[in-house]
Structure 1
Amino acid sequence: MKKGPWITGLAIALSVACTEKPKEKEESMSAELNYPETRKDSTVDDYFGTQVMDPYRWLEDDRSPETEAWVKAENEVSFGYLETIPYRDELKEKLTELWNYEKVGAPFEEGDYTYFYKNNGLQNQYVIYRFKTGEGNMDNAEVFLDPNTFAADGSTSLGGMSFTKDGSLCAYQISEGGSDWRKVIIIDAVSKEQIGDTLVDVKFSGLSWRGNEGFYYSSYDKPVNGSQLTAMTDMHKLYFHRLETPQSEDELVFGGDAMKRRYISGYVTEDGKYLVISAAESTTGNELYIKRLDMPNAAFKSIITGFDSEQGIIHTDGDMIWIKTNLNAPNGRVVKTTFPAMDPENWVDVIPETENVLEIGSAGGKFFATYMIDAVHKVYQYNVDGQMEREIELPGPGSVGGFGGKWDDKELYYSFTSYIYPGTTFKYNIESGASELYRKSAVNFDPELYESKQVFYTSKDGTKVPMIITYKKGIQLDGTNPTMLYGYGGFNVSLTPYFSTSNIVWLQQGGVYAVANLRGGGEYGEKWHEAGTLMKKQNVFDDFIAAGEYLIAQKYTSSEKLAISGGSNGGLLVAATMTQRPDLMAVALPAVGVLDMLRYHKFTAGAGWHTDYGTADDSQEMFQYLYGYSPLHNVKEGVEYPATMVTTGDHDDRVVPAHSFKFAAELQAKYSGSRPMLIRIETNAGHGAGKPTDKIIQEQADKWAFSLYNMGYMSLPHPYSTETAAH
């Protein structure tokens, strides 16, 4: 399945001189906020003898007219406040103006055609174009698929495409309103005419063709009781859909009562010989199964069972199979084995584990090993026997993507980016190792004006933690710079450098942008991940707090000029940090966060997060630990919290918006100070994927405006200046 384009960003600066907001203005402004009266009920839960009140339980019902009315009332308050910020519209206008440049993804071939993603500038969704390979080019390409036509407001997005090996058929997924539930449409790729009915109720799924007869996909049974956006989805199933037959006749291939697993995916190997199944109970660890497709009635064979390690097949050649695994190798390794003797005791190292985290791709008969060294990428090319052929020269410290493709490819396209290097596409000749610039970003940004450097600071327990700090050259380290500290710290996710339009807006206002690579992430492998999970989760919050303290101690900023930001698990990070150390920052921006740690596993796929968090049902000890940091349960009266803007989407069925609803209600009920406690609820939007461009721009403008305003700026810090593109 082809991925979307590497999206580059823009640089802007905005006009207006800097003045401080008088304290009396702040107090009078906040006094005008009239939060909705949020009803409290008498719901109480008993956890191992501890009675826990949950007065806003009713907000978990997303179908309730009362919840709908509450959302509307809260948005009236929040948007009413945002509209009073004098430079909010200017931020949006400049973002809109500078976002408006052509963005083109790397080409990929399917059958007789070459395809690519393109956005003319402000289109809500990328359009897929194509031309006849060897005959046309990007300038005379035709539209193959335009997701902007799926919905008038741009809220229906493309969720991925999959072509048959000969390129004659295409199946693609669509997401409506940002939901994880998808529909699948099958078309004749040449005529673009639909084939058969639309598949519905598909979730957390790839699409993998078996010849031209049909494809494999995954889904859950649609919830019978409760809302499809909030009810638990716990038993994943892999199906095979045969073309032009009803979905009701689809074959259950794996999962269900005979093999209950929370996450199941299946795909056909490039040679068409095997069906590979990955089955997992959580976001960490998976089982691996394989089945011969060229043998009638062949059974699945287990490669590895249990969930103590993660692995996936990266290439097959006849009976020879290459696997990437972290079994007995927390940083990852590549092994080979043969079918059918594929048990771990028969594995032979091809690319052994090193001290750095490994990701692997394959293309053109080669393996491409991407190593993460202090959150920055290096890439090496290996042959199938594990001999290193070359290091691929990159433009500098940063992040890469795209080192993968088809086994017979002669070239591939990869992207490179950093906090001050706009996303750029290169074409790579696999045989010679030569890279050439394919497409540079058209962003109006001069990287020579900025600096991005890595530092290592000490966390509470003495652990050294890396952080990359980016800012405009020449700023004074006098403690007065508006600073945004971003983090995630969970689920083995690594934060590597990336270029962002929105971040450059901040930098051109004299702002500092800092990203901390916290424990719980994957920057240093599975040990680093595990050091921020379960009853070690506090390490993540301590790392983030220490990052803020470092920025203040080194005079990048002060508590009055520091904002913290993060989304999803990062939303938990921000909310836990602001409840534990409210004195550390002036602004908190928890986005789509996991904020009720006692009930997160009751909704949609939340139970799958238990290996990172644990659950309140596991044991009294685990309950007490979660209860001790759960943001919803640690809001206290009489505390001066930072100005807070919680953000979520009403169609978020990954981290249901009830987390944000209840946390905001609790803040508004208990906080009596002068700072705003807002919740901004995007309607017809989900966890983030597929969000239309116009919604992204407005939300980013609101975040920057809210942050600067609550740091004391009645106008923007620096005048707007036009920059020319550097590369």
Structure 2
Amino acid sequence: MKLKSALTAAALMLPLAATAAPKGAAKPPATEKQEKVDTYQGTEVKDFYQWLEASNDPKVKQWTDAQNAYTRGQLDKLPGREGLRQRISELLSWKSPAYGALQEAGGTLFAMKNQPPKQQGFLVVLGSVDDTSKERVLVDPMVVDPSGHTTIDWYVPTLDGKKVAVSMSKGGTESGDVTVYDVATGKAMPNEMVPHVNGGTAGGSLAWNADGTGYFYTRYPRGEERPAADRDFFQQVYFHQLGTPTEKDTYALGKDFPRIAMSALDTSEDGKYTVDVVANGDGGEFMVYLRGPSGQWTQVSKFEDRVIRATFGKDGALYLVSRKDAPRGKVLRLPLATPTLDKATVVVPEGEASIQGIFPAKGRLYINEQLGGPSQLRMVDLKGQSLGLVPTLPVSSVGGLVATGDGDDVLLVNTSFVQPTAWYRYSAKDNTMTKTALARTSPLDLSDVEVVRTEATSKDGTKVPLTILKKKGTKLDGKNPALLTGYGGFNISISPGFNVLSGLWLEQGGVYAIANLRGGSEFGEKWHAEGSLTKKQNVFDDFYACAKLLVDQKYTQPKKLAIQGGSNGGLLMGAAVTQHPEMYGAVVARVGIYDMLRVELTPNGQFNITEYGTVKDPEQFKALRAYSPLHNVKDGTKYPTTLFTSGANDPRVDPFHSRKMVARMQEANGAKTPILLRANAETGHGMGTPLSARIEEEVDVYSFVFNALGMKYQPPAKKVSAPAPQ
């Protein structure tokens, strides 16, 4: 049924009073109520805070400023704040560099490097993974924009490694323009900028042709090609010839794609083939197109074929990951000469683990697999015969594979909850892992931290993986402060990773827990499907079960238990605090979605429909209304103290969600606990946030949580660094 919205005559008006909240105010500013009624599927739903959706309205800006002033008054006075600031600054500014996104092209190795105190990561050319003194900076966003608000979204080198296309965006918008740089000189090619190749809705991608004279790229509507409301949609693939104005770029593919299509492009090693893996929004459906030497695009698979990945091999084949009749995935080999799905053969059948990706080497396939959170790297020969597992760290994440040499050796990144990220060289001949110079050291010592892998039992009996980090010898007496996080959606799993802020928590005697909830990719498509659309409530039940385990097994108690999550994990926080407010002592909800009935009216919310559902479907509306955090805040309920964060430039989650949720919870809260909004005017969803801004946010978050749980910050007795990589 068509959505109907009407302003009722009996609109309830309260004083706006947003001007009456100076910094340090003891109470939050009063919020005006304007009763609106929306009708969904014949059901009338009142919405008193719809006016807060208008980000550019001066009244909304005034209200946001007043909320920020109230929040600053609450946070700035917290005890222990300056000690936390010093420690968090030390941890996040640790000068051991981090390397990521390695790519090899034409014998040249590229990488993104983060090196505090630089505000943003930058692109480097590596002389050797064993000697970082030979690297040189190729593109530094701080040179492009000294303010620190420009970030590199991604980069793609030509096949010969002589040029590189770089997407850069500003202020967390993720709206990236592509510039081409000459690798030898580090200079941008004149008049070579293509606008808005990347976006916060459909992302962005690029694939070079064989000789590096042009590239296919994702193009959003420009100018008056479509109405303003459609310009974050209808992404298509165009071709840009270097040396020609972008207005002369030619259409390649996508006129028949869905409105919410998202393309990911890649080129074969010889440059003869280009593949486009097209997503139908965020729900996990994909189709594959292939362009061959004839210049024609062929559709290899449709959404219903359940192919989710496509990777070029070195043997004249396209390797596919398919979930057709295989929820945990199988690997298919498709000869490029006959690119129709009926010619594909199964190389690796479905197994126990969930296949996430494949990396074909000369004589073997590396298969990245998920098993409940941690990942593993399995190997098979080109006929599918098992070659065992790569010997990675226990309970770890592995990825980022890059070929090294002409054989089967690879570079890969490996990290765990207690081991900093490092790049390793895997020798196929010797089955050995050797740490390279691209390895971070640690600013704190986690050698006394143990990693406990357990399972909680959800409401319907499902076993939910839960990882618990604690110092050895921690007493299970229910008195420990604990911090629990989760995500549960979009086929994304929380995999093990070294996090200095969880290290800070452990350093202070806390227990840190990570829940691997349904909705993610931990056990394949079935696991994802059981946490999406009309089954989304399972995610929240899973999370509650994990929280209950921490209490029942005396790791902590409700008033000592804090929870935090962001984006879809922010939605999780909203559901957790409204469904079980008695269970938590503090909640941190970052850039989250809280109005599930109006999220699809935002650009990226329409991409989310394939994951969350739509109010236009009767059953999906019923499910959305049942858990929508905003609509489940109850008057007089005693809510735990909660901190909401938002970014004004967020292209993925409109900050109005946080504004409306804060207004409603402040109105309804039956306890004296503060409900706070931390709205940043210069950031987005988190991508591209400058280092200094990230430090400020984490100081606020941890001083907030420490105070809520009755923790007193204790400076570490001495600063211990892990040994340098060998």
Q: TM-score, normalised by structure 1?
A: 0.90
Q: 2:144 aligns with which of 142, 150, 156?
A: 150
Q: Does 1:175 align with 2:175?
A: no
What is the match of residue 113 of structure 2? 118
> Residues 364 and 407 of structure 1 are in contact (CA less than 8 Å); yes or no, is this contact kept in structure 2?
no
From the superposition, tell whether residues 219 and 38 of structure 1 become closer, same or farther in structure 2 (CA, over 3 Å).
Answer: farther
Other structure's SS at 2:610 match = helix
What is the match of residue 3 of structure 2? none
Matched residues in 1 for 2:351 and 2:571: separation? 32
Query: RCO (CA 8 Å, sep 6+): is it higher in 1 or 2?
Result: 1
Q: Does 1:128 align with 2:123?
A: yes
Q: Give the aligned residue type for 1:167.
A: G
From the superposition, tell whether residues 130 and 659 of structure 1 become closer, same or farther in structure 2 (CA, over 3 Å).
Answer: same
Deviations 1:372-428 (A, max 9, x none): 233222222222222222321123221112234479466432222121122222112
From the superposition, tell whether residues 299 and 522 of structure 1 become closer, same or farther in structure 2 (CA, over 3 Å).
Answer: same
Offset of 1:567 from its aligned partner?
0.8
From the superposition, tell whether residues 469 and 79 of structure 1 become closer, same or farther in structure 2 (CA, over 3 Å).
Answer: same
From the superposition, tell whether residues 180 and 31 of structure 1 become closer, same or farther in structure 2 (CA, over 3 Å).
Answer: closer
Matched residues in 2 for 1:455 and 1:414: separation? 28
What is the match of residue 354 of structure 1? 351
Other structure's SS at 1:660 match = helix
Matched residues in 1 for 2:121 and 2:287: separation? 35
Q: Does 1:201 align with 2:196?
A: yes
Offset of 1:720 from its aligned partner?
4.3
Matched residues in 2 for 1:632 and 1:227: separation? 31
Other structure's SS at 1:447 match = coil
What is the match of residue 682 of structure 1? 680
Matched residues in 2 for 1:488 and 1:308: separation? 27
> Residues 465 and 516 of structure 1 are in contact (CA less than 8 Å); yes or no, is this contact kept in structure 2?
yes
Other structure's SS at 2:496 match = coil
Offset of 1:224 from its aligned partner?
7.0
What is the match of residue 369 of structure 1? 367
What is the match of residue 393 of structure 1? 391
From the superposition, tell whether residues 617 and 533 of structure 1 become closer, same or farther in structure 2 (CA, over 3 Å).
Answer: same
Other structure's SS at 1:544 match = helix
What is the match of residue 627 of structure 2? 629
From the superposition, tell whether residues 31 and 266 of structure 1 become closer, same or farther in structure 2 (CA, over 3 Å).
Answer: closer
> Residues 96 and 122 of structure 1 are in contact (CA less than 8 Å); yes or no, is this contact kept in structure 2?
no
1:128-277 → structure 2 map (5 Å cutoff): 128-130=123-125, 137-195=131-189, 196-202=191-197, 203=199, 204-211=203-210, 212-221=212-221, 233-256=232-255, 260=259, 262-277=261-276
What is the match of residue 312 of structure 2? 315
What is the match of residue 658 of structure 1? 656
What is the match of residue 36 of structure 1? 29
1:17-56 → structure 2 map (5 Å cutoff): 33-56=26-49
Q: Does 1:570 align with 2:569?
A: yes
Matched residues in 2 for 1:35 and 1:226: separation? 42
Q: Does 1:702 align with 2:696?
A: no
> Residues 588 and 642 of structure 1 are in contact (CA less than 8 Å); yes or no, is this contact kept in structure 2?
yes
What is the match of residue 531 of structure 2? 532
Offset of 1:100 from its aligned partner?
2.4
> Residues 458 and 541 of structure 2 are in contact (CA less than 8 Å); yes or no, is this contact kept in structure 1?
yes
Matched residues in 1 for 2:461 and 2:388: separation? 37
Question: Which has the larger displacement, 88-97 or 636-645?
Answer: 88-97
Q: Does 1:638 align with 2:636?
A: yes
Other structure's SS at 2:546 match = helix
Other structure's SS at 1:443 match = coil
From the superposition, tell whether residues 623 and 103 of structure 1 become closer, same or farther in structure 2 (CA, over 3 Å).
Answer: same
> Residues 238 and 265 of structure 1 are in contact (CA less than 8 Å); yes or no, is this contact kept in structure 2?
no
Matched residues in 2 for 1:206 and 1:670: separation? 45
From the superposition, tell whether residues 623 and 391 of structure 1 become closer, same or farther in structure 2 (CA, over 3 Å).
Answer: closer
What is the match of residue 587 of structure 1? 586
> In angstroms, what is the RMSD of aligned CA positions?
2.6
What is the match of residue 69 of structure 2? 76
What is the match of residue 471 of structure 1? 470
Matched residues in 2 for 1:457 and 1:345: separation? 42
Matched residues in 1 for 2:224 and 2:657: separation? 22
> Residues 261 and 279 of structure 1 are in contact (CA less than 8 Å); yes or no, is this contact kept in structure 2?
no
What is the match of residue 286 of structure 1? 286
What is the match of residue 78 of structure 2? 85
What is the match of residue 420 of structure 1? 418
Q: Does 1:332 align with 2:329?
A: yes
Deviations 1:59-83 (A, max 9, x none): 2222333322222222111122110
From the superposition, tell whether residues 561 and 214 of structure 1 become closer, same or farther in structure 2 (CA, over 3 Å).
Answer: same
Matched residues in 1 for 2:668 and 2:227: separation? 30
> Residues 455 and 468 of structure 1 are in contact (CA less than 8 Å); yes or no, is this contact kept in structure 2?
yes
> Residues 491 and 519 of structure 2 are in contact (CA less than 8 Å); yes or no, is this contact kept in structure 1?
yes
Matched residues in 1 for 2:112 and 2:288: separation? 33
Offset of 1:568 from its aligned partner?
0.8
Deviations 1:330-384 (A, max 9, x none): 1111111334544444321111110211133325413111222332222222222
Other structure's SS at 2:608 match = helix
Offset of 1:252 from its aligned partner?
1.8
Question: Which has the larger displacement, 109-118 or 248-257?
Answer: 109-118
Other structure's SS at 2:503 match = helix
Matched residues in 2 for 1:338 and 1:555: separation? 56
Offset of 1:469 from its aligned partner?
0.2
Offset of 1:155 from its aligned partner?
1.6
Question: Which has the larger displacement, 165-174 or 664-673?
Answer: 664-673
Unmatched segments (≥5 aa) in structure 2: 1-22
Deviations 1:233-260 (A, max 9, x none): 3312111111122222211211236765
Question: Which has the larger displacement, 604-613 or 467-476?
Answer: 604-613
> Residues 25 and 73 of structure 2 are in contact (CA less than 8 Å); yes or no, is this contact kept in structure 1?
no
Offset of 1:41 from its aligned partner?
2.5
> Residues 234 and 605 of structure 1 are in contact (CA less than 8 Å); yes or no, is this contact kept in structure 2?
no
Other structure's SS at 2:606 match = helix
Matched residues in 2 for 1:662 and 1:544: separation? 24
Count of aligned pairs: 691
Matched residues in 2 for 1:324 and 1:721: separation? 49
What is the match of residue 5 of structure 1? none
Question: Which has the larger displacement, 625-634 or 90-99?
Answer: 90-99
Deviations 1:476-509 (A, max 9, x none): 1111111111011111111111110111111111
Q: Give the aligned residue type for 2:507.
A: Q
Q: Give the aligned residue type for 1:378.
A: Q
Q: Does 1:723 align with 2:720?
A: yes
Offset of 1:700 from its aligned partner?
1.6
Identity %: 32
From the superposition, tell whether residues 224 and 663 of structure 1 become closer, same or farther in structure 2 (CA, over 3 Å).
Answer: farther
